[in-house]
Amino acid sequence: MFPSRLTTALALALLLGACAQSASTDKPQFPHAAITPAPVAVPALSLENTAGKLTSLDQFKGKWVWLYMGYTSCPDVCPAAMSYLAHEYKLLKNPILVQGVFVSVDPKRDTPKKLGEWAHFYDAHFVGLTGDKTTIAAIAKPLGFGYSFDPPDKTGFYGVEHTNLVFVLDPQGRYVATYVPGDQPGMMAQDFNALTKEKAS
Amino acid sequence: MTTRALVCLALLATPAVAIAAPKPAPAPKVFISQAWIRQPPPGMDMVAGYATLVNKTKAPVVLTGVVSPLFKNAMMHESVRHGAEISMQMLDKVTIAPGKTYEFKPGGSHLMFMGPKHALKPGEQVPLVFQFKGFDAAATAVVKGP
């Protein structure tokens, strides 16, 4: 019985080894990103696009999504992040495999028209989406995206405190990694160029 | 003789020219460089601006605001980081110690301009006046595209 048990153990060890190897090669590599311990599902809830039509993040399945969340009245951080994304996007060798998406957490001020003009200003391929409070909160939760509205100042302007990260969704629509906007310029594009090259070969 | 007379005249005229020449401008108290404004997306009535300020005096200087004829209003803000989260806080004043540099830069302190008088285009020059306690300092910011 002992040799048989040994054989089983050995076979199991080999199998586990093969699985581990397979998992490591299947796992997308983003040398310049923070990677989630495991892919995180993001709910495919209804969001309003810039034409005022209902859609969801599901429509981008099959592509990698660069998702940034913020608000268009943001004077400093959001424009800098979108500008960063636009520059990285221009460096892509296979831009068709990547979709830039901006989700506004401020639907009160960000009308579809305004959102469309804003997103396209940075890159004509980027899209802007928004939704009601509950939907935004449900999408923000699995991403760990935090946001809160400041009280309005005397002019009525209010800022929104929010997480400043680019979330990467894989072609299955799962959250897999984050990049810090402006950090290591060109490296996000480099990661995706390597990734999509591997996929193409 | 004519030549000598001309030389004499020229020599006599030289001090007069020197006196008539404008005095060199006094060295600026605050040296302002790399001033730029991010081109706002269409329809946006607020935009961030950035600059580097160096206090060239031997005393602290206090910046209390900035104005531009091309904007209705301007404020000083600071983007404050709490881990990955960022919030904005208004700055009433910025004190720069003698010889020190203060940077308004993306993701940090920034100038927030509101109500542009017209749509700004990349390359456009925007006059700015930085208001310090006791004096003003002028600068020109360049509009940069996205």
Give me the mean pLDDT over the B111-118 stretch: 93
Contacts with B24 (C-beta within 8 Å, 6 or more apart), sequence order: none
- Write out chain A in H/E/C secondary structure: CHHHHHHHHHHHHHHHHHHHHHHHHHCCCCCCCEEEEEEEECCCCCEECCCCCEECHHHHCCCEEEEEEECCCCCCHHHHHHHHHHHHHHCCCCHHHEEEEEEECCCCCCCHHHHHHHHHHHCCCCEEEECCHHHHHHHHHHHCCCEEECCCCCCCCCCEEEECCEEEECCCCEEEEEECCCCCCCHHHHHHHHHHHHHHC
Given the structure tokens 């989700």, which residue do they identify?
Answer: A103
**Bigger pLDDT: B118 vs B1:** B118
The predicted-structure confidence for A181-197, as pLDDT tens digits, reads as follows: 988 899 999 999 998 88
pLDDT at A48: 86
Instruction: Name the 3-class secondary structure at B24.
Output: coil
- Residue B37's identity, in one-letter code, is I
Is A76's CB within 8 Å of B106's CB? yes
The predicted-structure confidence for B18-49, as pLDDT tens digits, reads as follows: 455 666 777 889 999 999 999 988 878 889 99
pLDDT at position B8 over 60: no
**Bigger pLDDT: B4 vs A29:** A29
Instruction: Name the 3-class secondary structure at B31.
Output: strand
Is B107's CB within 8 Å of A159's CB? no
Under a CB-based contact definition with an 8 Å cutoff, are residues B91 and B77 in contact?
Answer: yes
The predicted-structure confidence for A17-30, as pLDDT tens digits, reads as follows: 333 333 444 566 89
pLDDT at position A4 over 70: no
pLDDT at position A112 over 90: no
Categorize the per-residue pLDDT at B5 as very low, low, confident or very high, splitting at 50, 70 and 90. low
Chain B residues with beta carbon closer than 8 angstroms to that of A77: 79, 86, 106-107
pLDDT at A27: 63
Burial of A52 (0-12, 13-18, 19+ CB in 10 A): exposed
pLDDT at A200: 55
The predicted-structure confidence for A158-189, as pLDDT tens digits, reads as follows: 989 999 999 999 999 999 999 999 888 999 99
Burial of A48 (0-12, 13-18, 19+ CB in 10 A): buried
Angstrom distance (rounded) from CA B36 to CA A103: 27
Chain A residues with beta carbon closer than 8 angstroms to that of B44: 72-73, 118
Is B87's CB within 8 Å of A159's CB? yes
Any CB–CB contact under 8 A between B126 and chain A? no
Distance from the B134 Cα atom to the nearest Cα atom in chain A, whole angstroms: 27
Q: Is the pTM of this model over 0.90?
A: no
Q: How far apart are the first and last CA of chain A?
A: 47
Is A83's CB within 8 Å of B43's CB? no
Q: Which of A131, A143, A195, A135 is CA-nearest to residue A173?
A: A143
Q: Which of A70, A112, A128, A121 is CA-nearest to residue B40?
A: A121
CA–chain centroid gap for B68, Å, is: 10
Which positions in chain A have a beta carbon within 8 angstroms of at least one beta carbon in chain B? 72-73, 75-77, 79-80, 82-83, 86, 114, 117-118, 121-122, 146, 150, 153, 155, 157, 159, 161-165, 180, 182
Phi, psi torsion values for A14, nearest 5 degrees = -65, -40
The predicted-structure confidence for A69-104, as pLDDT tens digits, reads as follows: 999 999 899 999 999 999 999 999 999 999 999 999
Instruction: Name the 3-class secondary structure at B17.
Output: helix
pLDDT at B146: 85
Chain A residues with beta carbon closer than 8 angstroms to that of B79: 76-77
CA–chain centroid gap for B41, Å, is: 23
pLDDT at position A45 over 60: yes
pLDDT, chain A, mean = 86
Categorize the per-residue pLDDT at A199 as very low, low, confident or very high, splitting at 50, 70 and 90. low
What is the full DSSP assignment across B38-85?
EPPPTT--EEEEEEEEEE-SSS-EEEEEEE-TTEEEEEEEEEEEETTE
Under a CB-based contact definition with an 8 Å cutoff, are residues A75 and B110 in contact?
Answer: yes
pLDDT at A6: 44
